[in-house]
Amino acid sequence: MTNALMLRGQTLPVPVGNLESYIHAIHAIPVLEAEEERDLAERLKYAGDLEAARQLILHNLRFVVKVARGYSGYGLSLGDLVQEGNVGLMKAVKRFDPGMNVRLISFAVHWIKAEIHEFILRNWKIVKVATTKAQRKLFFNLRSSKQRLGWLNQEEAASMAADLGVSTAEVLEMEKRLSAHDVAFDLGADQDDEDNTSFSPSQYLAAESADPAETLEAEEWDTYTRERFHGALASLDARSQDILASRWLVEDKATLQELAEKYSVSAERIRQLENAAVSKLRLAVLEPEVA
């Protein structure tokens, strides 16, 4: 018996429990003929027929299993891969346009793979190994290459870098990360804390109250704000830069009157220029950047 996934009142089998029973069940569902599939897709698109959506999904679940089996080398359960692939299939059915004159699975396979890729990248290692689009493409291409190759030599790395549009250094770095193993943060229950042959990262923290994540975040924020501050300072005119430097950035600070005499203006004008410059710096540092 299989569990079921609700789709606005409709039920779909999902790979939970006995996976072999699930696979046997979905292979008993026949593949739709092209005209049947087109009719269901038109009912869904133009009439919002949810029963049509259910039928489109049910009759294509077998293809999700076929795609998921291709990712069995990542150490993740086939049931989880199939379930993520089913999510991709449902997204594809929602977006499928029968006017494209292609079979649903030809369109859906990209959505199925995308969901499986996301799941693998989230779960393959504790620490993410790929965050950008180029790195993700490199991750999956390098994994498939490693089935045939040992460590890449410089020529192979350069060739792969050229094909994927990344640097050779990125290829070699990804290969190193793929070959690494996750290390437990704490000792296992069967390991003695006093055993000199056992160690874990938690033993090297400065103190129990130390939070490496907060420390790193603070350092990155300091660097980020410092860069924005210097960028904003450089955008000021020479007079405003000199006023700020003379009033705030040196030990022997100048008075408003001294700067007024230097620039042949009133002390009030110097104060206005100073306030305007400070406001501009504050906005540059505190306001979020527009992507």
| pLDDT tens track for 200-226 | 554 555 555 556 666 666 677 677 777
Dist CA 270 CA 273 (whole Å): 5
Q: Which residue has the higher pLDDT, 229 or 238?
A: 238
Per-residue confidence (pLDDT) for residue 179, from 0 to 100: 55
CATH classification code of 2-123 = 1.20.120.1810
Per-residue confidence (pLDDT) for residue 52, from 0 to 100: 94
Per-residue pLDDT, averaged over 183-211, amounts to: 51
Does the pLDDT value for residue 178 go beyond 70? no
- Closest Cα partner for 114 from 91, 98, 131? 91
Domain residue ranges in the chain? 2-123, 133-179, 212-286
Residues of the chain with pLDDT > 90, as a percent, come to 31
Instruction: Give the N- to C-terminal CA distance of the chain in Å, as an integer.
Output: 50
pLDDT band at 288 (very low <50, low <70, confident <90, very high): low
Does the pLDDT value for residue 238 go beyond 60? yes
pLDDT band at 239 (very low <50, low <70, confident <90, very high): very high
Does the pLDDT value for residue 20 go beyond 50? yes
Per-residue confidence (pLDDT) for residue 86, from 0 to 100: 94
| pLDDT tens track for 245-255 | 888 878 888 89
Per-residue confidence (pLDDT) for residue 90, from 0 to 100: 94
CATH classification code of 212-286 = 1.10.10.10
Q: Which residue has the higher pLDDT, 5 or 20?
A: 20
**Among 4-18, 101-115, 155-169, which stretch is predicted with the lowest mean pLDDT?**
4-18
Does the pLDDT value for residue 40 go beyond 90? yes
| pTM score of the predicted model | 0.44
Q: In whole numbers, what is the pLDDT of the chain averaged over residues?
A: 75
